[in-house]
Amino acid sequence: MSAAPAGGDRLTQEAMAHWYVRLLANGISYHDASDVIPRVTSWREWCRLWIERGDLRREEAEAIAREGRRLSAAEACVRAALAYHFAQFVYHEDAALKREAQEKKVACHTKALPDLRPPGERVSIPYEGGALPGVLRVPGGGKGKPPCVLLIAGLDSTKEEFFTLEEVLHDRGLATLAFDGPAQGERADLPLRPDYERVVSAVVDFVVRDGRVDASRLGALGVSLGGYYCPRALAAEKRLKAGVAAGGFYDMAGFWAALPALTRQGLQHAFQVSSEKEAGERAKALSLRGKLAGLDRSLLVIGGGQDRLCPPEDSRRVAEEAGKAADLVIFPEGGHVCNNIPFRWRPLAADWLAEKLR
């Protein structure tokens, strides 16, 4: 596992022990990580310092745009958006500061979309009288409409964090639809719901109506908490042909006490309850027990042997309960979501999805 830059108080050190490699895997440069993190002397400073880094990267993007280099400007906008994203990802100390980072992230990412390759488009997915925001990216060059992978975020990830993963899928001719569900990103106003299959069904309904991808060849890929949502959705939503659960779990109650304080705090906010104890009670519903019986479509379960958040034993339990429908890959050296070895699991998952959605 890559060592995080030194510095910070206990919470900062805890965050980096668990998530430093996630920053690097998902688009934060080693330079920015090495420069910003050692200056975080207190966890309360984390969000502000990363917002400042996002502002710097946004200014660079604007300068590049003035030179007429549209693709480079879009890529720089994405870098800014990622800095804003990681400013607030597990941060709950200052609601106004978190909101500022979230809003700046969305603005930068949205500005980048038209000039990315393939380009992206913000979409609005009808959901229970409101809407979920999404980003649809459709690669060109193939014959007919491409298959599409729904990207399901975790507890503190959002649609914007999928950029580097999207590239691997697009290179294999797969369209992507990343979205914020309840308690995620722009829809943090909605409480977390364990029955996320209802959310995924609304997204599938949108894809069918939208018509830009082949709705008969839909897959899903979920990471972390999304790796719990994905198998549950695959079992319930028959219009999905295949799913990948990366760094997910079988039953959160089994490892609740071992979760980092920042994760338990994040779940308290996501469930919109007043205490960590109540969040722990609500988390008992985050279980796949009895949900995968009779699964008749393909599921790839990916775990990390060194995962200290979602134990590899849980990945094995998911695959065991899914039976013949499941393929299981445990990378012995992998951490949470195997973010320390993205070059191993992401191509594997993308190849597997491309094969299943042919």
CA distance 283 to 194: 8
Catalytic residues: 224
Give yes or no: residues 161 and 67 share one domain. no
Parent domain of 250: 119-356
Report pLDDT for 47: 98
Q: Which residues of the chain have pLDDT under 50?
A: none
Whether 296 maps to a domain, the answer reads yes
Where does a domain end: 62, 81, 110? Answer: 110
Give yes or no: residues 141 and 99 share one domain. no
Where does a domain end: 87, 110, 133? Answer: 110
Sign of the Cα pseudo-torsion (226, 215, 120, 348, in order):
positive
Give yes or no: residues 70 and 166 share one domain. no
Crossing angle for the helix pair 225-236 and 197-210, to the nearest 10 degrees: 70
C-alpha closest to that of 350 among 215, 162, 224: 162
Report pLDDT for 141: 81
Give yes or no: residues 159 and 103 share one domain. no
Residue partners of 313: CB distance under 8 A and separation at least 6: none
Whether 346 maps to a domain, the answer reads yes
Query: For the chain, what is the domain count?
Result: 2
* Pairing between β-strand 120-127 and β-strand 130-137 as defined by DSSP bridges: antiparallel
Beta bridge partner(s), residue 287: 251
Report pLDDT for 4: 76
Q: What is the CATH number of the domain that holds 38?
A: 1.20.1440.110
134-186 pLDDT tens trace = 999 999 987 899 999 999 999 999 999 999 999 999 999 999 999 999 999 99
Whether 244 maps to a domain, the answer reads yes
CA distance 31 to 36: 9
Whether 3 maps to a domain, the answer reads no
Report pLDDT for 290: 96
Whether 2 maps to a domain, the answer reads no
C-alpha closest to that of 226 among 203, 205, 209, 249: 249
